[in-house]
Amino acid sequence: MDYIKLSQVFTQLALQAGDAIMQIYSKDNLLVETKSDDSPVTNADKIADAIIYQGLKKTFPNTTIVTEEKSQSHFIRTNTFILVDPLDGTKEFIKKTGEFTVNIAYIDNGTPTHGIVYAPAIQRLFRTDHTGKSFESIKSPTNTSQYHDKPLLVSGSNEDALTVITSKSHNNAETDAYIAQHNVSKIINAGSSLKFCLIANGEADFYPRLGRTMEWDTAAGHAILMGAGGYVTNLSTQKALNYGKPGFENPFFIAHNSNQIIKT
């Protein structure tokens, strides 16, 4: 894989998809349907998916692509592929909280090595470069077509005063019980894959998810957190969360900045 081209194309397509999503978000021409798993899908999800999938297929014709919105791709069995969630945080999109993201990741032998997470409504763009190192690309205040890259690095943990980040729409009693095992001084609520990026940026220490997620929900954020020195750990095996599983469903996991935070 040409990782320089991969990083460039991921960024271009995420920005294009974000622009298309914001056209719908800002004009209130939203159409909502319910999928077979009772989760919502909108016309913005579908339009963003088409932009990303077509762009990836044109540039990387020999690479397997799995996307949330193409159900036929969910039967593919592979551990090296591109994984797409064109609009993560659809509930936040519908509620207009701004905390929804475009997610594209490259999975190499089960590990998300490169990714991009773009939150178009709040103008935050997190990405890995061709080496796998993570950055937040910040738009220039004087030239909105230019960005400068700020390297991302997880914070050091103070185990007596941890900051936990939790889901705005998917928290549950199991997650609360897990958090209660830690000495938490601050709780942040956030939507979509932004939770991984905030840990990567040193804004939080850990994010436990003891509930259902799919691989496309986590892959890009996982890549960015890993490129900033963090981890995403399968809580049952205590090993790194891997990708390309049958059905693309994740086990319970914790995203974190230090291995000392993990509790079984």
Report which of residues 17 and 143 the model is more confident about: 17
Asked whether the predicted pLDDT for residue 188 surpasses 80, the reply is yes
Cα–Cα distance measured from residue 209 to residue 212, given in angstroms and rounded to the nearest whole number: 8
Q: What is the mean pLDDT of residues 235-252?
A: 95
With a CB cutoff of 8 Å and minimum separation 6, the contacts of 169 are: 89, 91, 92, 191
Q: What is the mean pLDDT of residues 25-54?
A: 83
**How, if at all, do strands 111-119 and 162-167 pair?**
unpaired
Kindly report the average pLDDT of the chain as a whole number: 91
What is the structure's pLDDT at 92?
A: 87
Asked whether the predicted pLDDT for residue 157 surpasses 90, the reply is no
Cα–Cα distance measured from residue 237 to residue 56, given in angstroms and rounded to the nearest whole number: 33
Under DSSP, is residue 68 helix (H, G, I), strand (E, B) or coil? coil
Common-topology check for domains 3-151 and 162-261: no
Under DSSP, is residue 23 helix (H, G, I), strand (E, B) or coil? helix
What is the structure's pLDDT at 264?
A: 62
Under DSSP, is residue 228 helix (H, G, I), strand (E, B) or coil? coil
Under DSSP, is residue 123 helix (H, G, I), strand (E, B) or coil? coil
What is the structure's pLDDT at 90?
A: 86
Supply the DSSP string of 79-110, one letter for each residue. Answer: SSEEEEEEEE-HHHHHHT-S--EEEEEEEETT
* DSSP letter (8 states) at residue 152: P
Q: Provide the strand spans (E) within 147-194.
A: 147-151, 162-167, 184-190
Kindly state the percentage of the chain with pLDDT values over 90: 74
Tell me which of 36-40, 52-56, 105-109, 213-217 is least confident. Answer: 36-40
| pLDDT tens digit sequence for 98-150 | 999 999 999 999 999 999 999 999 999 999 999 999 999 987 776 666 778 99
| pLDDT tens digit sequence for 199-211 | 999 999 999 999 9
pLDDT band for position 38 (cuts 50, 70, 90): low
Are 126 and 117 a contacting pair, CB within 8 Å?
A: yes
| pLDDT tens digit sequence for 41-74 | 788 999 999 999 999 999 999 999 999 999 999 9
What is the structure's pLDDT at 139?
A: 75
Q: Quick one: fold of 162-261?
A: D-Maltodextrin-Binding Protein; domain 2 (3.40.190)
What is the structure's pLDDT at 56?
A: 98
Are 65 and 84 a contacting pair, CB within 8 Å?
A: yes
What is the structure's pLDDT at 158?
A: 83
Give the domain ranges of the chain: 3-151, 162-261
Q: What is the mean pLDDT of residues 248-254?
A: 96
Are 45 and 25 a contacting pair, CB within 8 Å?
A: no
**What CATH number matches the domain at 3-151, 3.40.50.800, 2.130.10.10, 3.30.540.10, 3.30.70.980?**
3.30.540.10
* DSSP letter (8 states) at residue 71: G
